[in-house]
Amino acid sequence: MNAKLQRVLSSLALTAWGGVLVYFHASSRITKYLSEDFHPLVLAGGLGLIVVGLFNLLTATQAADCGHDHGPEDSHDHESLDLNPMAAFAILLLPLGFSVAYTKDAFSVGALAAKGLYDSPSESRSTALDSLLPKLTREIIEKQHPKNSAGFHEFSLMELYFSNGDPEMRDLVGGMAVETEGRMVKDPEGGGKQRRLYRLFITCCAADSQAIPIIVRFNDEVPDVEEGAWMMLSGTMRFPDEGEGPIPVLEVDYAQEGVAPPEEAFMRGKF
């Protein structure tokens, strides 16, 4: 293939990759994949790729010295590839374009299952830490989690999830009227009125995400909403032992569909 055409194709591929990074940053789709701390790096990297790609594209037709002398029988060049340039161009861009166009920017239920959607937190308590911390009381917890207008104490899903692993917290939170929010999906291990409510906890990127789930059981009919819908649920918190140790269960009295915040996947300390 013509060496100049190869340079053009390589430059276009480089520019396209940079453009995708800039597009994800500008469209805010990046919030589903990467913590906000790293967004400026993605923008800088994308712009850098575009600049290099455009520079190479503008200079693709210029002759350049390879930096050393060629002998009379030395016919080697620095343009040829082991792979056909058109095939290389297609490999670089077709999967990228397909992924950008068709990804849902979300995990499937199967992927969430591998990330702990159906797991319960293990019971763990440090006796050394207990001796250093003041004793918790129901009054302290209620003060830290004021009631909403309907009389339910507002808890984050992460708090309810990890309360299951602490016997003292289970005793204090168990039986409390609470309100929490998250995404609701079907629970293959439960009956018709049981679902899972989860949020994703991500430190830096989607690859290290962890599902934080609790079981929710409806006293009335289960709301007819899409799988993965964002829900605000209110009810009574329980920690029953159903054969494999205590599990966090919210007995739902009231349910309302909500809107997921754009930064829902990267809450860290905001749970």
Q: What is the DSSP string of 183-235?
A: EEEE-TTS-TTEEEEEEEE-SSBGGG-EEEEEEEEESSPPP---TTEEEEEEE
E-strand stretches of 90-161: 153-154
pLDDT at 198: 92
Q: What is the DSSP string of 26-51?
A: HHTGGGGTB-GGGHHHHHHHHHHHHH
Cα separation, 10 vs 104, whole angstroms: 29
For 109-270, CATH gives 2.40.50.140
Backbone angles phi, psi at 200, to 5 degrees: -95, 135
Q: Cα 164 to the chain's mean position, in Å?
A: 23
Cα separation, 150 vs 16, whole angstroms: 52
Mean pLDDT by 10 residues, the chain (271 residues): 80 94 92 85 95 91 66 58 78 90 84 81 51 71 90 91 87 93 88 89 80 91 91 94 87 89 48 40
Cα separation, 105 vs 203, whole angstroms: 17
pTM over 0.85: no
17 CB neighbour count, 10 Å cutoff: 17
Cα separation, 94 vs 17, whole angstroms: 11
pLDDT at 262: 58
pLDDT at 60: 82
pLDDT at 127: 47
